[in-house]
Amino acid sequence: MRLRPVVPASIHSRVPLFDPTPALLMKPGDSDPVQSLNDARLAAMGIVRWKTRRSVVDADTSVELAASNEPSISHRPASSESHQTATADDSMHPSIQEDTQSEDITSDEVITPETLEIIESEVSVCQKCTLASGRIHTVFGSGNPKAQWMIIGEAPGAAEDAQGKPFVGRAGQLLTAMIESLDMSRDAVYIANVLKCRPPNNRDPLGDEVASCSPYLVRQIRLIRPAIILALGRFAAQALLQTQQPISRLRGSVHRYGEFDTPLVVSYHPAYLLRSPLEKRKAWEDLKLARRIMSDVVE
Sites of contact with ligand SF4 (CB under 6 A) = 123, 126-129, 131-132, 138, 195-197, 209, 212-213
In the bound complex, what is the minimum distance in angstroms from residue 271's beta carbon to ligand SF4? 18
Single out the residue of 197, 104, 94, 216 nearest to residue 154, CA to CA: 197
In the bound complex, what is the minimum distance in angstroms from residue 114's beta carbon to ligand SF4? 17
Q: Are 224 and 232 in contact (CB under 8 A)?
A: no
Residue (123 or 294) nearer to ligand SF4, CB = 123
Residue (206 or 287) nearer to ligand SF4, CB = 206
* Beta-carbon contacts of residue 136 (< 8 Å; ≥ 6 apart): 161, 162, 164, 198
In the bound complex, what is the minimum distance in angstroms from residue 122's beta carbon to ligand SF4? 8
In the bound complex, what is the minimum distance in angstroms from residue 267's beta carbon to ligand SF4? 23
In the bound complex, what is the minimum distance in angstroms from residue 48's beta carbon to ligand SF4? 48
Beta-carbon count within 10 A of 240 CB = 23
Question: 3-state SS string over 31-94?
Answer: CCHHHHHHHHHHHHCCCEEECCHHHHCCHHHCEEECCCCCCCCCCCCHHHHHHHCCCHHHHHCH
Residue (67 or 206) nearer to ligand SF4, CB = 206
Beta strand 149-153 with 228-232 is: parallel
In the bound complex, what is the minimum distance in angstroms from residue 222's beta carbon to ligand SF4? 17
DSSP annotation of 28 = T
CA-based torsion, 11, 14, 19, 23: positive or negative? negative
Residue (140 or 257) nearer to ligand SF4, CB = 140
In the bound complex, what is the minimum distance in angstroms from residue 46's beta carbon to ligand SF4? 52
Residue (139 or 174) nearer to ligand SF4, CB = 139
Residue (52 or 212) nearer to ligand SF4, CB = 212
Give the span between the Cα atoms of 71 and 21, in whole angstroms.
31
Residue (119 or 147) nearer to ligand SF4, CB = 119
> What's the one-letter identity of residue 155?
A
Single out the residue of 128, 192, 198, 203 nearest to residue 166, CA to CA: 192
In the bound complex, what is the minimum distance in angstroms from residue 228's beta carbon to ligand SF4? 24
Residue (98 or 122) nearer to ligand SF4, CB = 122
Single out the residue of 279, 217, 218, 214 nearest to residue 251, CA to CA: 279
Single out the residue of 237, 174, 173 nearest to residue 205, CA to CA: 237
